[in-house]
Chains A and B, each alone.
Chain A
Amino acid sequence: MDIIVCIKRVPQTAEAEVSIDSTGKSIQKDRLTFDMNESDTYALEEAVLLKEKFEGNITVLSLGYPDTDDTLRIALAKGADNAIRIKAENFENPDAFQTAQILKSVIKTINFDIILTGCIATDDAYSQIGVTLAELLEIPHAALVIKVDANEQRTHVHRELEEGLIEHLDIKLPALLTILTGINEPRYASLIAIRRAAKKEIQQLGKENIELEDLVINSVIEELYVPPVTKQVEILTGSPSETATKLAGIVKEKGLI
């Protein structure tokens, strides 16, 4: 079973200070750390589990800048066989739709039974590239998948809907699945595997190596801005002992203890 996993390297912003850069359309990246997008780590693990069951080949694919090679190397260390980086420096700020079109052009040249993507990239948060890609490739898809039970021809999948309800589907391969966090337990790469992966080659594809159709842009970012305050929070100040005392006081005042 041959599997393609689409991976994005993203800034880790959940706990970091995020500031807008001088263009007003992007963020200052120099003080942020970057890593594999969270749901992509689960997609990769699912690919490795499928490979352990059916054998075959895992290709990891990313449209990214040169430092994306570090992320792809981690994927190689975790069990991917080939890694391809499409050079983002050859394209001018592709939007999500263009990204899907570029990924499609490369995927067209590779054999696969299943494509796995993350269900959302934590930086731009579109949740659209996987399903778009499936449509461009004219293959079936399922989004928000939390269980995969495949044989060579078809796969049963569970999609997670709202409030914990699950939708069970039966899908013909080749197909594309967008993977939700929690589907498995992503492994860590061992030191030996990381050392071995450091020596592996990462295929670099520039614009000249890809047969591209005319790229269509769907959207352009006009500006980034700090979300307006919708609810005025009262921040309790002081040492932990002072703030905890104030907070306990509020809880008591409200009659909750």
Chain B
Amino acid sequence: MTELFVLIEHRKGEIRDISFELLTCAKKIAEKENLNVTALLLGSKTDQIIDKIKNYAHKIYLFDDPVFENFNSEIYQKNLSDIIKKESPLLTLIGHTAFGMDLCPALATELNIPFSTDCLNLTFEDKKLKVTRQMFDGKLNTHEILRENPSYIITIRAGSFPAVEGNFNAEIVKLSPKETTEPEYRKFVEYIEAAIGDVDITKSDVVIGIGRGIREQENLEMIEELAASIGGVVGCSRPIVDADWLPKDRQVGSSGKIVKPKLYIAIGISGAFQHVMGMKNSDTIIAINKDPNAPIFNEADYGIVDDLMKVVPILKEKILEMK
């Protein structure tokens, strides 16, 4: 049967959530196209990971070697290109993560396989692969058709396929890796943990998220006052950290913190998916943005379409009044 490959992502011995999402996506396509789901696991001491994914795949190809303990796209690429060449799966799924972004374009290019990145969905139509993506700051979606080929590689955006456990019992096939020495032209040195700051925004019931719409650093004071009035903390989007207006530990999003407060108020934040990934599971989401088409309104329960400079000071007064 034709294969559908899923690359399992793990870090520091722990499987990452995206792996289950990819396997869920794979199952959907496999059922429709009558394919076999094979998980590709390159790792070291992988028993725990195997246990967790067994039910999600027909087969697990296991490459077990200490060199795979930490991700190195070069060594992954060498082994993956070998197995993809040999088996020519119809599709290989990789996460659109820091790992996948570093690996997929090089792997697909080496193999001369058509690929697309950051896909939200995919379907086969008369053997042609059609993917759904987002463009222009998330304001428009696209359908793209890939060049017809026996094999494709796609990276999938996190959150696109909420994980649903399967009822397979994967056969585990141990393969001997083709290459197990880390190349001297790209060497993994170490992981460095994010610095811990004075405020832990993941612990607060109310997070006021501020974005580039704030315009000037001086305007932060107004936001701090609003946060104080509700008894919340100030978080922010990436550009605010890039500009050094707030420390990194205040950043909400895929490369920052994942928060789940009772209330998240997004002020002057457009709602890029990297930000949304960090706050979409908040109980109540409020967005204040002057652009009625800002993607953040697609995530919010309540919205105000107006200038934050006008709304925020009054909101603070009203909250103090009603307290």
Spell out A's residues near B (CB within 8 Å).
11, 13-15, 17-18, 20, 27, 97, 100, 119, 122-132, 134-136, 140-144, 156, 158-172, 175, 181-182, 185, 216-227, 229-231, 233-236, 240-241, 243-245, 247-252, 254, 256-257
Contact = CB atoms under 8 A, between A and B. Distances in A.
A20 B140 contact: yes
Interface stretch (B22-30, B42-50, B58-66, B295-303): B295-303
B88 to A, nearest CB: 17
Given A230-B298, A257-B230, A166 B109 contact: no
B230 A161 contact: no
B105 A235 contact: no
A247 to B, nearest CB: 6
B314 A235 contact: no
Nearest to A11: B136
B215 to A, nearest CB: 11
A219 B105 CA distance: 13
B230 A216 contact: no
A238 to B, nearest CB: 9
A229 B298 contact: yes
B189 A170 contact: yes
B322 interface: yes
B192 A166 contact: yes
A140 B74 contact: yes
A132 B109 contact: yes
A222 B230 contact: no
A162 B255 contact: yes
15 contacts: A14-B137, A119-B101, A125-B135, A125-B136, A131-B101, A156-B189, A159-B98, A163-B194, A171-B186, A216-B147, A218-B147, A219-B114, A223-B143, A256-B263, A257-B231
A248 B316 CA distance: 8
A13 B114 contact: no
Nearest to B212: A14
Interface residues of B, number: 103
B290 to A, nearest CB: 8
Contacts of A160: 98, 255
Given A140-B185, A166-B191, A231-B298, A219 B139 contact: no
A160 to B, nearest CB: 6
User: Max chain A CB contacts within 10 Å: which of B11, B117, B146, B193?
Assistant: B117
A231 to B, nearest CB: 6
User: Max chain B CB contacts within 10 Å: which of A18, A127, A234?
Assistant: A127
Contacts of B291: 15, 17
B54 interface: no
B239 A222 contact: no
Given A167-B188, A222-B130, A257-B323, A182 B241 contact: yes
Contacts of B306: 240, 243
Interface in B288-323: 290-293, 295, 297-307, 310-311, 314-315, 317-319, 321-323
A236 B239 CA distance: 27
Given A144-B98, A164-B193, A164-B251, 12 more contacts: A15-B291, A18-B137, A119-B101, A126-B117, A127-B117, A140-B186, A165-B192, A172-B186, A227-B141, A234-B303, A256-B262, A256-B263
